[in-house]
Structure 1
Amino acid sequence: MVLLDSSPPGVLPRRRPARPGQLSFDELGTPLREVTFVVLDLETTGGSHRDDAITEIGAVKVRGGEQLGELATLVDPGRGLPPQVVALTGITTAMVTGAPRIQAVLPTLLEFLSGAVLVAHNAAFDVGFLRAACEQHGHTWPRPPVLCTARLARAVLSRDEAPSVRLGALARLFGAATAPIHRALADARATVDVLHGLLERVGNVGVQSLEELLDLARESTPHRPTTEQRRKRVLAESLPSAPGVYLFRGARDEVLYVGTSGDLRRRVRSYFTSGERRRRVRDMVAQAERVDSVVCAHALEAAVHELRLIAGHQPRYNRRSRTPLRAWWVALTAEAFPRFSVVTTPRDGAFGPFRSRQQAVAAMETVLDAVPLRSCTQRIPARGAAASPCALHELGRCGAPCAGLQTVEEYAPAVAAATALVEGRDDGPLRRLADEVAALGEKQRYEAAVRRRDRLAGLIVALTRSQRLAALAAVDELIGARPDGTGGWEIAVIRCGRLAAAGVARRGVPPMPVIDALRAGAQTVIPGDGPLRGAPAEEVWLLHRWLSTGGTRLVHCEPAWAEPARSAAAWTSWAERARPVGPLPD
């Protein structure tokens, strides 16, 4: 094996810091001049990595147009070479006999590839053989970024200019100093010249970073952006590399799309590459004329601003959260004999929200299975009415106040039971419904049991969410601090279920003065009506998730943040582990 370095004679090669084989997300934005490429070529005994073996390896390491080193070796495949391979490459069985076996070569080759982008012509062939060799000999394939010069050529060159993207044809097109002759090192050198020729062309389609280069050459060619879309990446040039919210605007300054990112500039640039495959978003990018941004202290503030901007502008290319204030709730009516009603305006004592009326109705009907509230919609005066009892009265599920068979006082316990269930003060109805599921299973009424089980699980999820949101919205002021992973803190001031202020205390900065300043300048929140005190449910849930995950600490809370002791949350594990209660009949 021959390992060459570009250092002057007598000078030891400069050692570079070891880097992982897989580039990080940050490194994917590296300018092309700073990317290290290892251009590789293999010769083999045939075309299948399952049945054939490597006979020769050639690799050239380059960066910024400068050659850093070469690696070349013959490899003993442990078998004779077929005549057609000898005729094509000139490598004979005698030449490879006594050469190192692939298991001896692999460690050096993998070290040579470390931290670089693997480049090959028809790269799937070479990568397939290397992966198979690693699996066979106990090495972990490092999964380096792979660039195929054949695919890149087809993406960059027109068919008139390059009818063929074979290595020999491209080498002639770009005037390669070395002609490919089906020998590994010679072909790798020729591929280096082809790569440099292609890199000179990619700037014409707006490619300047490694991420964009890999996207340009990726397999899914139908998703490749047009040249005009790539040129629009200049819309991202003025954006900061900071967390926040971005807004795509159209020709009439209308907001087309709102999104959030931890790095605004990098995220917006990604919209102009083939990494973005959503058809509607690609259509949006084609119409975009400007991108505005709102820099935020951290990801939580960015997510909240995104919700608010989507609600305010209602961009036609955003599908979720366009109407965060529009939802369905289940609430008791205000009359002598209250009943459950599905409403769009939450009232005190309501539970929800639900994304559809059908979901709200299903939850309401499940509660009525355990609580003897009336389900009829007629308005009944306090002294009763003269209607005939319905079938529910005969089934024992209604006291028939409509027929004057139940007074207001006799009806009140059912109202109290429903209110206690919604507020989390009594989970008895949930227990009764769970017992009914078990009883149906014991009677081998499996289909009915499964239906009841699924409805009960849905009710538990809905009540848990509702009670947790209401508990957080009931807190007048709460201050949380979450470790930012670098020794600092992300801080949020929450009032009545809304984010009132956000900031950061970097490593080495005392957090309490920052918290005091944020608290003093926080937004004043006037609570509204309903269980969430007027706060949007999606924002409250976003804040709840941030407070209950990631090691967030409560710095201040007034009044105490507490969830009801008999809430539906105690039944969450039951809902999550719910399984079929028996074999369903054929």
Structure 2
Amino acid sequence: MSDSAGTVTGMSSSLHRLRPVWAGAATDGTAVQLALDEIGTPLSEVTFVVVDLETTGGTPAECAITEIGAVKVRGGQVLGELQTLVDPGGPVPPFIQVLTGITSSMLVGAPRIDEVLPSFLEFARDAVLVAHNAPFDVGFLRAAAARTGHAWPGYRVVDTVRLARRVVTRDEAPNHKLSTLAALFGAAVTPNHRALDDARATVDVLHALLARLGPLGVTHLEDLATATDPVPQEVRRKRTLADGLPDAPGVYLFRGPHDEVLYVGTSTTSLRTRVRSYFTSSEKRSRIQEMVRIAERVDPVVCATPLEARVRELRLIAEHSPRYNRRSRFPERMPWVRLTSEPYPRLSVVREVRDEPGATYVGPFGSQGAATLALEALQESFAIRQCTRRLPLVAPAAASACALADMGRCGAPCIGEQDQHGYGEVVERVRAAMLGDPAPVVAAHAERIEALVDQQRFEEAATVRDRLGAFLRGAARAQRVGPVARCAEIVAARRADDGGWEIVLVRHGRLAATARVDRMTDPRPTIATLRTTAEHVAAPVAPAPAAHPEEADLVLDWLERPGVRIVDVVGTWALPVRTALGDVEPAAAIAAHAAAVLGRPAPRPADRPHAEAPGSVDLTRHAAMPRTA
């Protein structure tokens, strides 16, 4: 919806209801008049300046220009010509005189390049430069501009040699020299190594090449940038799928012949530019090239902010499960490590966070293997039982202990060797490491790694390191996401590059609404509208957020960016002072532990929250957003 305060987008969970407009058609099936900036600039409306130079040799650093010839054309019509000899400041080599017919005596009294170049730059202003073997001619012009102190305008450049290699086969012409192509296409002027005549011949060659490129989908100026890419014709012809896509951030859906979603992608700047890249040689992925051949339509979903675009991409992938997307599509398959709630708790790997009073969770993990490594890290660090059966409060008389009890790695509550109180102290240490300070886990693994390295058992040391890393990453993720998952609402704003505001509303870790207002608009009415119309989000079972874990990560990354200002928080958003967030990488964590053992202060990341006293760090202590934008 829209109002005077800006564009407001509610993040509805039923994204399948969106009916985006695609190229050439509105949602009701009527035709749409595409604006010029939606389809690019037709080649018939582009002004080309075809240039040719004669020089004293082939190296701009050592040689100089002796003649400039240029022809300005648009829509097949010649708009003007420029031709002049240039004094190179020295003699013309004999072989150049033979090749071009330009002698040293002819250049006596000719203007120097510092007099000629401003005229050429004015003649070619706002045009696209064209040359046959463009690196040669443009290289000399750029070098001349540098020597004479003129700023090079940064023209778009088209090389007719590269275009010819794309559409002229060896069966038609033995090479791609200008004289050969001029003869092939019947140019009105025969090239003779004089600048203006060669430029005139290049004009005819250019028009002939563009006529051949048209059926291949090269019909606009923007297409010329990739016209020489080695892209199959059936792929290049589908560049028209990008026509009409908006120049705005959002999500795009490639659809197949049966309207199925083949692939979902996102662009944080321009949907049109991003989709066009799929039809060029820059796209190297074989699966995506296969997808492009199948695709018949691209549907855009314009988003108010880049964050919304990334979030919608995740949701659409989860909804449609496109066969050509390889990102995580099944959040329900991401495992967690749980400390159970029972008389004698144990650790286990589970698929979901349940409302179980007393249970503790870390994660989610990217795979079952990572979750298992994290569980093993805790079991190696604490004498917690590893058996899977539920133990009664009173051990049976016939019960027997496992081998872990004999090894001193379990207090054996199964046979009554450890009472509930004693075992509970172990459980509390495990819970503290999961929810807060991971130092005991880091210390145990650092000690083990040191012993294994001393024994040159490096592969085993690497396994221990991987265990520690899996645990730290899972604990850090839960400790980071858990507070925002418990928070009913967070409203934040960030200055956009154009001076406006990006406004984000988050509920229980889920992006519920987003908006953008311009720099002249007071953001407060838009914020009020967001809070009224945003998606209702039911409270989840923390630390699991009310969204895909990757969405919660995206939201938190945005909230933690420099310049983001917290407008309001409903609930509490805080972290323990000591958490796993500063020790996510095992190597850094082990180094910090070693420094502490040696009596030196362990390094902490610069962006770590600072607390003046033990307890929690309030994450909302940011500079408030000004009352007016």
Match of 1:3 in 2: none
Match of 1:235 in 2: 241
CA contact (8 A) 1:467 1:563 kept: yes
Alignment of 1:490-569 (within 5 A): 490-549=502-561, 551-569=563-581
Quick one: structure 1 residues 147 and 307, their matched pair in 2 at CA, closer, same or farther if it must change by over 3 Å? same
CA contact (8 A) 1:77 1:102 kept: no
**What is the SS of the residue equivalent to 1:350?**
strand
How far, CA to CA, are the matches of 1:134 and 1:573 in structure 2? 51
CA contact (8 A) 1:58 1:188 kept: no
2:432 alignment partner, one of 410, 420, 428? 420
CA contact (8 A) 2:583 2:589 kept: no
CA contact (8 A) 2:545 2:552 kept: no
Alignment of 1:93-108 (within 5 A): none
**What is the SS of the residue equivalent to 1:165?**
coil
Quick one: structure 1 residues 526 and 141, their matched pair in 2 at CA, closer, same or farther if it must change by over 3 Å? same
The code of the aligned residue for 2:228 comes to: A
Match of 1:281 in 2: 288
Task: Tell me whether 1:316 sits opposite 2:326 in the alignment.
Answer: no
Match of 2:226 in 1: 215
Quick one: structure 1 residues 491 and 406, their matched pair in 2 at CA, closer, same or farther if it must change by over 3 Å? same
The code of the aligned residue for 2:523 comes to: P
Match of 1:336 in 2: 343
Deviation at 1:576, TM superposition (A): 5.6
Match of 2:202 in 1: 191
The code of the aligned residue for 2:400 comes to: A
Deviation at 1:149, TM superposition (A): 0.7
1:253 alignment partner, one of 259, 279, 290? 259
Deviation at 1:101, TM superposition (A): 8.2
Task: Tell me whether 1:306 sits opposite 2:317 in the alignment.
Answer: no
How far, CA to CA, are the matches of 1:576 and 1:99 in structure 2? 69
The code of the aligned residue for 2:540 comes to: G
Match of 2:63 in 1: 53
The code of the aligned residue for 1:210 comes to: L
The code of the aligned residue for 1:192 comes to: V
Alignment of 1:291-302 (within 5 A): 291-302=298-309
**What is the SS of the residue equivalent to 2:514?**
strand
How far, CA to CA, are the matches of 1:118 and 1:402 in structure 2? 84
1:290-333 superposed Cα distances (whole Å, 9 cap, x missing partner): 22232322222222111111101101011113223321221123
**What is the SS of the residue equivalent to 1:544?**
helix
The code of the aligned residue for 2:165 comes to: R
Quick one: structure 1 residues 440 and 62, their matched pair in 2 at CA, closer, same or farther if it must change by over 3 Å? farther
The code of the aligned residue for 2:296 comes to: E
Q: TM-score, normalised on structure 1?
A: 0.80
Deviation at 1:436, TM superposition (A): 3.2
Bigger shift: 360-369 or 450-459? 450-459
1:324-372 superposed Cα distances (whole Å, 9 cap, x missing partner): 3321221123443322222222346211122122222222323334333
The code of the aligned residue for 2:344 comes to: F
Quick one: structure 1 residues 505 and 72, their matched pair in 2 at CA, closer, same or farther if it must change by over 3 Å? same
Quick one: structure 1 residues 384 and 195, their matched pair in 2 at CA, closer, same or farther if it must change by over 3 Å? farther
How far, CA to CA, are the matches of 1:314 and 1:566 in structure 2? 39
Match of 1:201 in 2: 212
Deviation at 1:558, TM superposition (A): 0.6
Deviation at 1:479, TM superposition (A): 1.4
1:363 alignment partner, one of 360, 374, 389? 374
How far, CA to CA, are the matches of 1:174 and 1:437 in structure 2? 77
Task: Tell me whether 1:64 sits opposite 2:74 in the alignment.
Answer: yes
**Aligned residues: percent identity?**
48
The code of the aligned residue for 2:347 comes to: F
Deviation at 1:476, TM superposition (A): 0.6
CA contact (8 A) 2:401 2:414 kept: yes
Quick one: structure 1 residues 578 and 391, their matched pair in 2 at CA, closer, same or farther if it must change by over 3 Å? closer
Task: Tell me whether 1:148 sits opposite 2:159 in the alignment.
Answer: yes
Quick one: structure 1 residues 559 and 320, their matched pair in 2 at CA, closer, same or farther if it must change by over 3 Å? same
How far, CA to CA, are the matches of 1:324 and 1:392 in structure 2? 38
Task: Tell me whether 1:401 sits opposite 2:413 in the alignment.
Answer: yes
RCO higher in structure (CA 8 A, sep ≥6):
2
Matched residues, number: 547
Quick one: structure 1 residues 477 and 191, their matched pair in 2 at CA, closer, same or farther if it must change by over 3 Å? same
How far, CA to CA, are the matches of 2:99 and 2:327 in structure 1? 58
CA contact (8 A) 2:52 2:68 kept: yes
Deviation at 1:506, TM superposition (A): 2.5
CA RMSD of aligned residues (A): 4.0
CA contact (8 A) 1:29 1:266 kept: no
1:390 alignment partner, one of 396, 403, 409? 403
How far, CA to CA, are the matches of 1:578 and 1:28 in structure 2? 56
Task: Tell me whether 1:345 sits opposite 2:352 in the alignment.
Answer: yes
CA contact (8 A) 2:337 2:347 kept: yes
Deviation at 1:165, TM superposition (A): 2.3
CA contact (8 A) 1:148 1:217 kept: no
